Amino acid sequence: MRQNKISTKAAQFTESVIRDMTRQAMRHGAINLAQGFPDFAAPEAIKRAGQEAIAADINQYAITWGAKELRQAIARKLETWQGLRVDPETEVTVCCGATEAMIASLMAVLDPGEEVIVFEPFYENYGPDAVLSGAAPRFVTLHPPREPQGEWSFDPQELRAAFNQRTRAIILNTPNNPTGKVFTRAELEQIRDLCLEFDVLAITDEIYEHIIFDGHRHVSIAAIDGMRDRTITINGMSKTYSVTGWRIGWAVAPPVLTGAIRKVHDFLTVGAAAPLQAAGVMALALPAEYYESLAREYRLRRDRLLASVREAGLRAFTPRGAYYIMTDVAPFGFADDVAFVKFLVEEIGVAAVPGSSFYKSSAGKQQVRFAFCKRDATLDAAGERLQKLAARTHATQ
């Protein structure tokens, strides 16, 4: 009987733990600090641009690889912010979110038998993405800092040991989900040296580019000497403009790679929503102050949630970018992260994500991630509920 058989590929991964936590939060009436979507309004001007595009009847398929004006806006923004000059006609593909840009890129460049290096902990999509593209992920650890205020880091020797003749690509994510790490220029140069030595591509997810704190600066690896022609840069509107439901993202890559990405993208989804692409043109032209205030507001949210998770007794690592706080929950004495998160959602009324969903190894078994892309009122309400945990640490001491 083959009717219930599923493919070997689909059998290799589970449903998204993050999206499942959102469903659990709804079931238990918990405050959702699990999934990374804002609960505050998107900017008025961007919403109006979307409404106007629909009213102006931009309602049919856009060009499959993206409306020309949006590709031009993406190229202009990359030049302004990263000093990178790309040709919107041959090097930019608009997709249904960075999510589709990543899977389309991997399917476009990877073959079975090849390997792709992924830093661990990783954004959970990268594992299944690698499986679906037929390649094998090889993980390199990002080690937590000794002090909560320190930086997550990789061991250069461990990174070098992951490269071999089968390595086709390395996936980067900076600013990083879930650790909040912002890769420095020096680190990216080390990665560049290995990419050149082993003839490897970099596929970099820069969706949190503008959510960055404490004087850290975002560096695109494509802008580092020697990398322009071997990098696929992925980004999108979701996080920068607080429109995660619009599903507009893009991949920027040299023409040969772009040709392959466009073919895969076309057959996966045909194209992203046309009126929302039109609104994207307006959004990407916003002045620098927009991005400055975005980062400032997120820093305040970070500080707010950091203070309350620390007061509640969690050991929280200070994120330098993106909108998550990774914590070490070992002091609470639960069997593992999943047991802790179950207790949190059912008894405390706050949903978070078990750290193990960001790891292939067992290193995340005492880690839990909280999202702070939420209104002050939401963060305060969650903070209040979390204080019930403090009593528990004292009780178990």
Cα separation values, 47 from 207, 290, 300, 377, Å? 20, 15, 24, 23
19/375 with CB nearer ligand PLP: 19
What is the Cα–Cα distance from 119 to 104, expressed in whole angstroms? Answer: 20
Q: Which residue's CB atom is positioned nearest to ligand PLP?
A: 97
Q: In this structure, what are the phi and psi dihedrals at residue 168, rounded to the nearest 5 degrees? A: -105, -30
What is the closest distance, in whole angstroms, from the C-beta atom of residue 177 to ligand PLP in the complex? 4
What is the closest distance, in whole angstroms, from the C-beta atom of residue 59 to ligand PLP in the complex? 22
Residue entry with tokens 């009126």:
275
User: H-helix or E-strand containing 306?
Assistant: helix 288-311
257/322 with CB nearer ligand PLP: 322
What is the closest distance, in whole angstroms, from the C-beta atom of residue 82 to ligand PLP in the complex? 18
93/177 with CB nearer ligand PLP: 177
Residues at the contact surface with ligand PLP, assessed by CB under 6 A: 36, 97-99, 123, 173, 177, 205, 207, 236, 238, 244, 249
What is the closest distance, in whole angstroms, from the C-beta atom of residue 240 to ligand PLP in the complex? 10
242/308 with CB nearer ligand PLP: 242
Say if residues 115 and 168 touch (Cβ distance below 8 Å). yes
106/348 with CB nearer ligand PLP: 106
> Residue type at 184?
T
What is the Cα–Cα distance from 97 to 123, expressed in whole angstroms? Answer: 15
Question: Does 137 sit behind a cis peptide bond, omega within 30 degrees of 0 on the bond before it?
Answer: no
Neighbours of 389 (CB within 10 A): 23
What is the closest distance, in whole angstroms, from the C-beta atom of residue 235 to ligand PLP in the complex? 8
What is the closest distance, in whole angstroms, from the C-beta atom of residue 244 to ligand PLP in the complex? 5
119/154 with CB nearer ligand PLP: 119
What is the closest distance, in whole angstroms, from the C-beta atom of residue 238 to ligand PLP in the complex? 3
> Residue type at 221?
I
97/383 with CB nearer ligand PLP: 97
205, HSE (Cβ side, Cα atoms, 13 Å): 28
Cα separation values, 368 from 107, 166, 176, 314, 330, Å? 31, 33, 15, 10, 10
Both structure tokens of 116: 């792709």
What is the closest distance, in whole angstroms, from the C-beta atom of residue 172 to ligand PLP in the complex? 10
Residue entry with tokens 């205030």:
293
> Residue type at 328?
D
332/358 with CB nearer ligand PLP: 358
What is the Cα–Cα distance from 81 to 42, expressed in whole angstroms? Answer: 22
